[in-house]
Amino acid sequence: AQSVSQHNHHVILSEAASLELGCNYSYGGTVNLFWYVQYPGQHLQLLLKYFSGDPLVKGIKGFEAEFIKSKFSFNLRKPSVQWSDTAEYFCAVNPPGDDKIIFGKGTRLHILP
Amino acid sequence: GAVVSQHPSWVICKSGTSVKIECRSLDFQATTMFWYRQFPKQSLMLMATSNEGSKATYEQGVEKDKFLINHASLTLSTLTVTSAHPEDSSFYICSARDYLAGVYTGELFFGEGSRLTVL
């Protein structure tokens, strides 16, 4: 079945460590890709998105993601995490020719102060 | 950014009763809204796509007679959980797209979510 996969379910890092969260999708064709974040007690908000163009996308709060078409991947990165980055991160895909957005299972990130 | 508001934020009901959850786009018009269900420590599962002025499109496995969706205006969609049972207890989240001047920006704006507990 077509899906969105996030490999890391729970990640624990110390402040200033580098972060990379994996995301793979199985849809063929042209897709739109997103990373959403849910801080504790808050609603989901968009971190960044990729529609076309430069495969390296920069988002808010120092996050970036790289779209690698050959690998069907859209990994999220941040060079140096902060305690305030503690949250749940969701990769999402808008499949080709479809109006809906499908989410991965999420990665719970915990940053140690 | 665009604001989506859900009401109520949490609701407790008895088994067998029906519960209505409202989703409003406060500063934009949303021809399409999406309803998701989030289980503890799990992802958002798309339940249905709500289209203004027409029937909702339900995802496979979602009972349309149990989860009634109405999108009567460009700013309001409602989800009614009919004859609720404890297994319907969950976190329900709505979202909407903001088509800025007719241009699809792709971003989904999410409501705060509604936690339903069925006793």
Comparing CA positions, the residue from A22, A18, A19, A43 lying closest to residue A33 is: A22
Higher pLDDT, B70 or A96: B70
**Cα within 13 Å of Cα(A26), Cβ side:** 7
Q: Which residue of A has its CA nearest to B110?
A: A44
Q: A37-51, pLDDT tens digit by residue?
A: 999 888 888 899 998
Give how far A80 is from chain B: nearest CA, Å: 26
A3: CB partners within 8 A, 6+ apart: A25, A26, A102
A49 contacts on B by Cβ (under 8 Å): 106-107
Q: Percentage of chain A with pLDDT > 70?
A: 98
First to last CA, chain B: 37
User: What are the Cα distances from residue A68, in Å, to A18, A62, A65, A102, B61?
Assistant: 20, 20, 10, 19, 32
Low-confidence ranges of chain B (pLDDT < 50): 101-102
Q: Which residue of A has its CA nearest to B59?
A: A100
Name beta bridge partners: B11. B116
> pLDDT value at position A4?
93
> pLDDT value at position B101?
46
> pLDDT value at position A1?
65
Higher pLDDT, A101 or A19: A19
One-letter amino acid for residue B100 of the chain: L
A106 contacts on B by Cβ (under 8 Å): 42-43
Q: Hey, is the C-beta of B5 within 8 angstroms of any chain A C-beta?
A: no
Cis peptide leading into residue B8 (ω within 30°) = yes
DSSP H or E stretch at residue B117: strand B114-118
B42 contacts on A by Cβ (under 8 Å): 105-106
Mean pLDDT of the residues in chain A: 92
Q: Hey, is the C-beta of B113 within 8 angstroms of any chain A C-beta?
A: yes
> pLDDT value at position B99?
63
Q: Does the structure show a pLDDT above 90 at A29? A: no
Euclidean distance between CA atoms B79 and B116, whole angstroms: 12
Euclidean distance between CA atoms A104 and B52, whole angstroms: 27
> pLDDT value at position B103?
52
Give how far A48 is from chain B: nearest CA, Å: 9
> pLDDT value at position B62?
95
